[in-house]
């Protein structure tokens, strides 16, 4: 049983908690709760409604029961990244993808992110910012063999699927608004179609990475 405060997404998300094995947990301020009990298929009870693993919800003043693993962004809307002044501050404060990776391919992509933190033996998260209407770049492979899900915190975005590495080969997208997590896009053996995140407005989301 534990509730751990996390400061990796400061200063824009300064009230983040990782909750493990709590029979009851009270979500007091308006929060986005991500159920990370994917290994055990543990469903959280939110006042009689289920919060499934790898799904999220916007909640306030709600008692959760049976929390095995959950990441909670309390007061997730204290700052508003769709406000251009806030967006400019995020861009100044969090390093760009290129600054993190040194990968030439990512130079000029208007994405910024926090450090990646490991929550459990197999699960890591970052918080990522994207400027409006910006594609992240289609890919099929990841640095590691991971199951990947994106959870929206602020603004609007989408995850798009392509039959091949070509924007014209688009065949499906998942629209993301705050509190949404898209359905799984990987197959049973961890294989992915070509896919990318694409912001609509200025956007902040959480890529959840689960090692296989
Ligand atoms: Fe990906």
**For residue 11, cis peptide bond before it (omega within 30 degrees of 0):** yes
Distance in Å, CA 161 to ligand 1 centroid: 10
Number of continuous H segments (helices) and E segments (strands) in the chain = 2, 17
pLDDT digits (tens, 9 = 90+) for 168-209: 999 999 999 999 999 999 999 999 999 999 999 999 999 999
Q: How far is the CA of 63 from the centre of ligand 1 (A)?
A: 33
| Gap from CA of 115 to ligand 1 centroid (Å) | 17
d(CA 75, CA 77): 5
Alpha carbon of 183 to ligand 1 centroid (Å): 13
65, 64, 68, 198: which is closest to 123 by C-alpha? 68
* CB neighbour class for 112 (10 Å; exposed up to 12, middle 13-18, buried from 19): buried
Mind listing the pLDDT tens digit for each residue in 4-20? 999 999 999 999 999 99
Q: 65 C-alpha to center of ligand 1: Å?
A: 32
Alpha-carbon distance values, 121 to 53, 89, 209, 210, 212 (Å): 17, 33, 11, 9, 11
Q: What is the pLDDT of residues 25-72, one digit of tens each?
A: 999 999 999 999 999 999 999 999 999 999 999 999 999 999 999 999
In b/e form, how buried is each residue of 35-61, taking b as 16+ CB within 10 angstroms?
A: bbbbeeebbbebeeeebebbbbbbbee
R_g (Cα) of the chain, nearest Å: 17
Kind and range of the H or E run holding 172: strand 170-176
pLDDT band at 143; cut points 50, 70, 90: confident
């Amino acid at each position: 049983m534990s509730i751990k405060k996390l400061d990796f997404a400061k200063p824009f998300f300064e009230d983040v908690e990782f909750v493990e094995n709590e029979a009851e947990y009270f979500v007091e301020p308006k929060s986005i709760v991500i159920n990370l009990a994917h290994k055990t298929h543990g469903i959280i009870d939110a006042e009689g409604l289920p919060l499934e693993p790898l799904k999220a919800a916007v909640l306030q003043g709600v008692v959760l029961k049976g929390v095995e693993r959950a990441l909670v962004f309390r007061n997730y809307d204290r700052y508003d990244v769709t406000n251009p002044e806030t967006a400019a501050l995020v861009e100044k404060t969090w390093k760009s993808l290129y600054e993190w990776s040194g990968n030439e391919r990512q130079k000029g992509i208007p994405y910024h992110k926090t450090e990646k933190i490991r929550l459990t033996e197999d699960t890591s998260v970052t918080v990522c910012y994207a400027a409006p209407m910006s594609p992240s770049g289609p890919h099929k492979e990841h640095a590691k063999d991971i199951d990947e899900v994106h959870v929206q915190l602020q603004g609007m975005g989408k995850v798009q699927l392509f039959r091949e590495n070509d924007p014209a080969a688009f065949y499906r997208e998942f629209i993301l608004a705050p509190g949404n997590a898209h359905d799984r896009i990987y197959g049973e053996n961890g294989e992915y179609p070509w896919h990318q995140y694409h912001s609509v407005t200025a956007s902040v989301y959480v890529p959840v990475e689960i090692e296989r």
